[in-house]
Amino acid sequence: MVIAHEIIHGFDTNGRYFDEHGNLFQWWNNETDATYRETERCIVEQYSNYTYEQVNMTLNGNTTRSENIADIAGTDLAFLAYKQWLKVHGDERRLPLLDKYTSEQMFFIAFSQIWCGNYLNERLRKDIRDMIHTPFRYRMIGSLHSSHHFSQTFQCNPNAKMNRQIKCTVF
């Protein structure tokens, strides 16, 4: 997941302005640029609607835009890579009580656990105000809200809380 996230930075808000040699160069055509900007707008709007009730603060999707793009696209890219791995190696063994989940479902469960953590209110306020990364909870929720793979893997009801109707897909 982390590797996929970092790869996506090569094509995000900033990385897209550099060619394969690291030279500043606008290599996207107007149509690609317009499509990407629409995706950016969707992601900014999505994350700007997340609120941490415990500190009564709403996220600023604009300041975390590049990282949110890398989270969403990186999660999808990592999932597709994992599916390719499964084709070659087959299903992984699961621990007792987790055998009711498919390997694909376990991917998303493991992904979600990466973002487990608690914040002191003071630190959470600072991170919401100053950081370029979205705080843990919404890094996970935001990525899964925009993942068709997640909703298909878990066969989410169209009205389920984790099955956001408008999905901001990057690539």
pLDDT digits (tens, 9 = 90+) for 89-139: 999 888 889 999 999 999 999 999 999 888 999 999 999 999 899 999 999
Q: Which CATH class is domain 2-153?
A: alpha beta
Residue 171 has pLDDT above 90, yes or no: no
Active site includes 40?
A: no
Those residues whose C-beta lies under 8 Å from the C-beta of residue 141, and which sit 6 or more positions away, are: 50, 162
Percent of the chain scoring above 70 in pLDDT: 100
pLDDT at residue 126, rounded to an integer: 93
Domain ranges of the chain: 2-153
Evaluate whether 79 touches 25 at the Cβ level (below 8 Å): no
pLDDT at residue 11, rounded to an integer: 86
Q: How confident is the model over 6-31, as a mean pLDDT? A: 89
pLDDT at residue 95, rounded to an integer: 87
Closest Cα partner for 133 from 76, 66, 77? 66
Cα atoms in the Cβ-side hemisphere of radius 13 Å centred on 160: 13
Q: How confident is the model over 50-75, as a mean pLDDT? A: 95
Active site includes 122?
A: no
Mean pLDDT over each residue of the chain, to the nearest integer: 93
Catalytic one of 12, 40, 67, 71:
71
Tell me which of 13-27, 35-49, 130-144, 150-164 is least confident: 13-27
pLDDT at residue 2, rounded to an integer: 87
Tokens 């160069």 map to which residue? 25
pLDDT at residue 81, rounded to an integer: 97
Catalytic one of 6, 19, 33, 45:
6
Q: What is the pLDDT of residues 75-94, one digit of tens each?
A: 999 999 999 999 999 998 88
